[in-house]
Amino acid sequence: MTIATDARQFSSDPTIYFDGSYKAAHSLPREELERLQLEALRQRFDEMRGGVQMLTALADELGVTAIDKLDDVVPLLFKHTVYKSYPVSLLEKGRFDQITKWISRLTTVDLSSLDFSGITTIDGWFDAFDAQSEMRLSHSSGTSGTMSFFPRTDGEMHLWFRTTRMLTNDATGLPANSEAPFHCIWPTYRSGRSTILRSTDYQIQYFCGGDESKFHVLNPGRMSSDVMFLAGRLRNAAARGEVAKIEISPELRARREEFESTQKNLRQSMTAFLEDAIENLKGERVIMVGASNQMYEIARSGLERGLKDVFAPDSLIQPSGGAKGQVQPEGWRDVIKAFNGVDKLVPMYSMSEVMGAHSTCEHDRYHIVPWTILFVLDPDTGEVYPRGGQHTGRAAFFDTMANTYWGGFVTGDEVSVDWEPCKCGLTTPHISHAIERYSEKRGGDDKISCAAADGAHQSAIDFLNTALD
């Protein structure tokens, strides 16, 4: 096959290209991987250059017409603020036709025929998107006072979860391409339109074998996007002492009170939910994601009662954040492993903007999946560091699987990368488990510089918002 054909298969569906083998995907020689990545990047640029209006405007400003080496794409990587750069007043006023016009400049999907007549809520807007298009639009949590919107399609969501299933099989010792079902313990809402809640239908298909009864949820309802937006606006206004300036309809105020009550009940019932799930799923193969401190407390308590090896050994236990301000005791991982009956924990590094779930190896290093191209930037200048040796800086990515939107993205994360093969034997670049947010390190201020291209980025964002009212 030619390199063009190889790269097309590599980015179109890595599960087919690597025959479902996670180890094969992470064992390509460095030169071969970067050759594939460069060709896939060229193909995506050529496809998107005239199809994603925001990219077209930015490339025109910078005079970029072709990609000759990986680092050529760095000035074209979107800042994470792009996805929330619309006038927030449009969301406050329910101008969903105008926000959709804004979104249409970030995707190749034709949204011109979507009808939002009579729709007055964010939830209703998302319902219309789902009913009338292939797009499965999702949003961020809204804690900043507005929402970022991510224009991913149903096909891309399936691709994301096929590759995640490949990772899951490897992490749990199942054969490549296995479709053996798991029970999923999901300690939040059954559904919603935030990116994490968008994933539940796909989790049920790819991890639970399509069996809803294997998906165990804390709250069977749907999290309201309207209420999430309102909560973020109020939280942001309270920090500025401007709550009185926020106008809230009586209907939404009632939903806010309902939301606060529900959230309080969720927090109070979390431990009981997890303990019930553990009791009912003894011996089963499970996937469980939860706050590391809460997992530890449940495991410690269980071991004290003589409980251990609760689940099947090919279960996937993923401790996440949640211990902010707390220091976990020495040996906390061993306590969680002993209680759950697994020989390793598998934290993952992921984000809404990129379809990559980067899991840790036995040396506590996150390995970047090969279909996601990693860049490490100087946090102050935006200049890209060499693709070799060890560097600490701002993480940026290009997602080669994104085929209806531009996959280039600059994060707010500080990472320490090692480009050399890991002691575990995998050849992909790997980053330290210690990942920090620049906004937290810098007192909330995280100005992203893009290697002397700031003016071009601002011009492109201005274009994105052209003729919106």
Sign of CA dihedral 381, 383, 389, 394: positive
> Would you say residue 121 has pLDDT above 50?
yes
Q: How far is residue 463's CA from residue 160's CA, in Å, rounded to a whole number? A: 30
Res 321: pLDDT? 62
Q: What is the mean pLDDT of residues 151-163?
A: 97
Res 290: pLDDT? 79
- Who has greater pLDDT, 210 or 256? 210
pLDDT digits (tens, 9 = 90+) for 9-61: 999 999 999 999 999 999 999 999 999 999 999 999 999 999 999 999 999 99
Q: Between vectors from CA 297 to CA 414 and to CA 311, what angle results, nearest 5°?
A: 95
pTM assigned to the model: 0.91
Percent of the chain with pLDDT over 70: 88
Q: Which of 193-197, 219-223, 265-269, 415-419 has the lowest mean pLDDT?
A: 265-269
The Cα-based distances of 407 to 47, 221, 300, 396, 429 in angstroms read: 12, 32, 42, 11, 19
Q: How far is residue 149's CA from residue 139's CA, in Å, rounded to a whole number? A: 5
Q: What is the 3-state secondary structure (H, E, C) of 180-192?
A: CCCEEEEEEEEEC
Q: Are 354 and 407 in contact (CB under 8 A)?
A: yes
Res 395: pLDDT? 96
Res 391: pLDDT? 97
> Would you say residue 325 has pLDDT above 50?
no
Task: Report the first-to-last Cα separation within the chain, whole angstroms.
Answer: 50
CB atoms within 10 A of CB 210: 12
pLDDT digits (tens, 9 = 90+) for 422-459: 999 999 999 998 898 887 776 665 556 555 456 766 77
Res 373: pLDDT? 98
- Who has greater pLDDT, 9 or 460? 9
Q: How far is residue 165's CA from residue 150's CA, in Å, rounded to a whole number? A: 22
Task: Dig out the tokens for 269 from the structure.
Answer: 């019932």
Res 71: pLDDT? 97
pLDDT digits (tens, 9 = 90+) for 193-250: 999 999 999 999 999 999 999 999 988 999 989 888 888 777 776 777 766 666 666 6
* 14 phi and psi angles, rounded to 5 deg: -60, -25
Q: Using the CB atoms, write b or e for 332-358: b if 16+ within 10 Å.
A: bbebbbbbbbbeebbbbbbbbbbbbbb
pLDDT digits (tens, 9 = 90+) for 361-395: 999 999 999 999 999 999 989 999 999 999 999 99
Q: Between vectors from CA 245 to CA 266 and to CA 145, what angle results, nearest 5°?
A: 45
> Would you say residue 158 has pLDDT above 90?
yes
